[in-house]
Chain A
Amino acid sequence: MLTPKEIQSRLGRVLPTVQKPGRYTGGELNQVVKDWDSIATKVALVFPDIYDLGMSNLGLAILYDLLNQREDVLAERAYVPWTDMEAAMRREEIPLYSLETKHPLADFDIIGISLPYETLYTSTLNALDLAGIPLFSAERGSEHPLVIAGGHSTFNPEPMHAHIDAFVIGEGEGAIQEIVDIVQTLKRGTFERPELLQALSRIWGVYVPSLYEAHYHEDGTFASIEKLDPEAPLPIDKRIEAALPPPTTRFIVPYVDTVHNRAPIEIMRGCTRGCRFCHAGMITRPVRERTVDEVLEAIEETIRHTGFEEIGLLSLSSSDYTHVVELVERVHERFGEEHLSVSLPSLRIESVSVNLMDALKGGRKGGFTLAPEAATEKMRKIINKPVSTEQLLETAREIYSRGWTTIKLYFMIGHPSETLEDVQAIVDLCKAVVAEGRKVIGGRAKLTAGVSTFVPKPHTPFQWVPCDSIEQIKAKQDLLKEELRGRGLKLNWNNPYETQLEAWLSRGDRRMAEVVYQAWKNGAKFDAWGEHFNYKAWTDAFETVGLDPAFYTHRHRPLDEVFPWEHLSTTLRKKFLTQDYMWSLEGRIRIDCREQCFACGILPAFAGLRRENPGDVWQCPEVSQGRVISIKDEDLLPVISGQ
């Protein structure tokens, strides 16, 4: 393995020849460099895409900060090089290295990979390959780093089960500390890898796939998961933080341009809205909020540490943050003179949202974004996102009249039961919105419709439904392209082939791991980048492995099917999801669960934590000593049981 000095010297030759060399140098403000030889445990945090994207990942920024606060740990960063740099690195035999000290990744104790979405899987393998680390967990010994991963897509980790030694299911702040502790304890003596993996599996939220074996029925559907280690947990409950830890404010400030040029501050985790298509809304429960004071303090510190000109106040649904009006007023009061642009994404479609944005003076260059997701009452009831068209038009009028010229509307096609009429309704709605704009500001009124394609996600009420076929998607997109044009209108859509890939992987089982590997061997990488997406690499991989891609996407899964991700528990009860799916078929709305608890399962699972954190930290009802909400199955499933 090369020394950091040798890597640095080879980089000197290579960097002047590649695009944006600033991606590969490190050395930015707020990076943490520690004395390598005097630190017990070394962690490399990897985002399996390029620097420009990875630097905007909040999860890794949090872990970087937390780990580097420990005196016995150092955390450094690595990203996947762009193709020109990858070619140069392979030519010059430079292994994937950390930006801080230029150590090869193989020299670290732990490689922590962020997997927020599925289209990063092949690039993950590419990163391991560039690092010279065996791609299969089974081929790694005690001399190799421990390879762990976390992030939203690992709530169904099975398509990567063969490549990752251990997954963190859920929130990583506490889990990463315990993982480090175990690695440290074992490293003091001699240990075998199975011993390490076994010890890790006892940590709340950690899933070690090699301790389980999957069984399938003859028709290919999943039968069961078997514990190979009798002490291993089953199911593996997700990890949560009882209260959100203090926000990270010492972000690394990149020298080169990145995707989001802003410092993110999470104001709330979780969402109570219950949109049925929304993976994040189901897996990040319960809702926990930060106080206004804590957020303001975090903004203050962030400016002092980074000088960022924009702060993003993040949550899944900003309007639902209990003290949103107070927050906005106080942000304005305290930072109004600082030329700070504060963004508040994911606002509800109502005029209050326009007031909030107005008060933030966030600049009007980017347009005002709203996400109705569907355009007809019928579809809105199916997906549980009730917004009336009148309300949308009224909000749009307000937006145009307050100085914004562009409104961005996000829709999804491919929801269950959707017809071409529902798609046509998207066109009509967009035209109605821009017509409202014209009444207010004339020809300057613009509208951008971002129409993505729905992918059924595991652990959601839509986990049973088939995904639209490529032909269906194309027909719907053709209609949009044909109809949604004219003055002031712009349409964005997703490549239907990329949607298929996401759909295969989202609800894939363990057998998909071989497909991912073959696809990578066939040249697949950067699957989320249109210009690199290689559909044939994937279809060939399915063929080699002998699996039918349609099995994963176009099959209507029966209600009693056992899913290959069920042993990873979000703590939402399957009966809750089934009922919600049934309600969807009836067009029945489930109101915000802050107004009424629907016993999704979170409270009984975390009753102890809730009890220790009373008050409005959690938006779930209080749990008193010895009492856990229980709802009888017959109350939950009137539809299934025919009552």
Chain B
Amino acid sequence: MRLKITFAKTEAMRYTSHLDLQRTWERTLRRARLPLAYSQGFNPHPKINLGAALPLGFTSQDEMIEVWLEEQVPLKEIESTLTPALPPGIKIQVIQESELRVPKLQTLIQSTIYAVELSHPLPALSDRIGKLLSQSSIIRQRRVKKKLREYDLRPLILDLHSEGEDKLQMHLSALPGATGRPDEVLKALDIDPLTAHIHRSEIILKGT
């Protein structure tokens, strides 16, 4: 049985990395004593698959994980055993059964939407956004295997707008090799990402 669990990663787990989140889920599923499926081999691993990695310090209301179970369990029962086993910082939004043969989550992710809250209002916010979007390319650098590489951030921004002087929303591409990072967008707007709280509000999958 293959499950897709949509969950929120809240304040308590803000500083839990992708890898640590993976382990947290493994332990949660073990606590719930669900019949987890394992990989073959000398050191079998539970068959679970986390969606798009969320950078350290961000919260989210739309994270996804896929879980394979050895046998069919009613969804209601899964929910009732899983809920009390959850750690602080994870809230389940919805549990769905998915087709065994559909491709893995990662290959389905198209783009992501972030809601950003600044610690102080910035009167020039909407002007800066306008200016940034009017550029045809925004060349920035990122570290790829210890080397600095240049890339163009502009085409990765699908939408960007402010809501008042201290909030903004961004819709960024999340395709393999073409993923926009919200902290990079903030830097391009000359905003220190440390002064912002970044929250992922939606992951958009292919065909939805």
Contact = CB atoms under 8 A, between A and B. Distances in A.
B35 to A, nearest CB: 10
Given A16-B194, A307-B31, A365-B43, A25 B20 contact: no
Nearest to A257: B20
A141 interface: no
Interface in B110-130: none
B185 interface: no
Interface stretch (A219-227, A298-306, A349-357, A377-385): A298-306
Nearest to A13: B194
Contacts of B142: none
Nearest to B11: A27
B27 A307 contact: yes
Tell me if A's interface is mostly helix, strand, loop or mixed. loop
A16 B14 CA distance: 10
Given A22-B16, A307-B31, A27 B88 contact: yes
A255 B13 contact: yes
Given A25-B15, A256-B16, A17 B194 contact: yes
A303 B44 contact: no
A21 B31 contact: no
B17 A256 contact: yes
Contacts of B89: 27, 255
A339 B194 contact: no
Contacts, number: 76
Contacts of A253: 24, 27, 87
A416 to B, nearest CB: 42
A430 to B, nearest CB: 25
Contacts of B16: 22, 255-256
A363 interface: yes
B73 interface: no
Contacts of B29: 307
Size class of the contact patch on chain A: 20 to 34
A307 B30 contact: yes
A32 interface: no
Contacts of B17: 22, 256
B85 interface: yes
Interface string A308-350: 1100000000000000000000000000001100000000000
Interface centre among A22, A257, A305, A306 (most CB of B within 10 A): A22
Contact of B31 (A17, A22, A304): A304
Interface of B: 12-17, 19-21, 23-24, 26-31, 33, 36, 38, 42-44, 46, 56-57, 85, 87-89, 193-194
Interface of A: 13, 15-17, 20-22, 25, 27-29, 253, 255-257, 261, 303-309, 338-339, 363-365, 403
24 contacts: A16-B194, A21-B15, A22-B17, A25-B14, A25-B15, A27-B13, A27-B89, A28-B87, A253-B87, A255-B15, A255-B16, A255-B24, A256-B17, A261-B23, A303-B33, A304-B31, A306-B27, A307-B27, A307-B29, A308-B27, A308-B30, A309-B27, A339-B44, A365-B43
